[in-house]
Amino acid sequence: MTTNTTPKFRGHHKKLLLVSLLIITLTASMCTYALFVMQDETSTIEDDDTPDEIEPIRPESVRTKPVRNEVELRAAVRNAVGSTIIPLDKDIPLTFIFIIDSDKDITLTSNSATGFYKLIGANHVSTIIVETNGVLRLDTVLLKGAF
């Protein structure tokens, strides 16, 4: 009794190998094409293409000491003159509406290297009101509450 050691599907393996090589070639071609297309698109971007509406934090801004609670936050906003950056040192729950007056230019930021602090609104009331001509920027601060 002799056993046949040659595989029965030798032709099937050749087809599978050819299809695999075709897929690899197509994938490599698409990646190369995408790199060239992306390079052409990024080379046409100029500095003048940045939108004018986005205002970075100005270097002339005054930075206050970090605040840890609602009383300190309200005092820092009340005493703010010009463009003022107020860092939060922890999550701050509010007991009533937080109002930014019309003459204030306030930036709230988190004083954390690992995450964002929250400004937590009181239940069933608006969290923040920014009066006409008042400015409030949120930089790495999360809002939680009614808006």
pLDDT at 7 over 70: no
In a domain, 110, yes or no: yes
Q: Answer yes or no: do 66 and 128 share one domain.
A: yes
Query: What are 122's two structure tokens?
Result: 């009181």
On the question of pLDDT at 62 being above 70, the answer is yes
pLDDT for residue 29? 79
Alpha-helix runs per DSSP H in 43-96: 70-78
Distance CA 26, CA 37 (A): 16
> pLDDT tier at 45 (50, 70, 90 boundaries)?
very low
In the numeric block, which tokens belong to residue 42?
């990024």
For residue 47, which phi and psi values (nearest 5 degrees)?
-65, -25
Mean pLDDT of 10-21: 76
The reply to whether 87 falls in a domain is yes
Q: What is the pLDDT of residue 86?
A: 94
Instruction: State whether 40 and 68 are in the same domain.
Output: no
Do 73 and 134 reside in the same domain of the chain?
yes
Is 73 in the same domain as 132? Answer: yes
Q: What is the mean pLDDT of the chain?
A: 79
Among the listed residues 60, 58, 57, 65, the one whose alpha carbon sits nearest the alpha carbon of residue 88: 65
Same domain for 123 and 78: yes
pLDDT value at 15 more than 60: yes
Please indicate, yes or no, if residue 54 is contained in any of the structural domains. no
pTM, full prediction:
0.58
Q: Are residues 69 and 135 in the same domain?
A: yes
Q: How confident is the model at residue 44 (pLDDT cuts 50, 70, 90)?
A: very low
| Residue 118 sits in the same domain as residue 83 | yes
Q: Which domain does 18 fall in, by range? A: 10-45
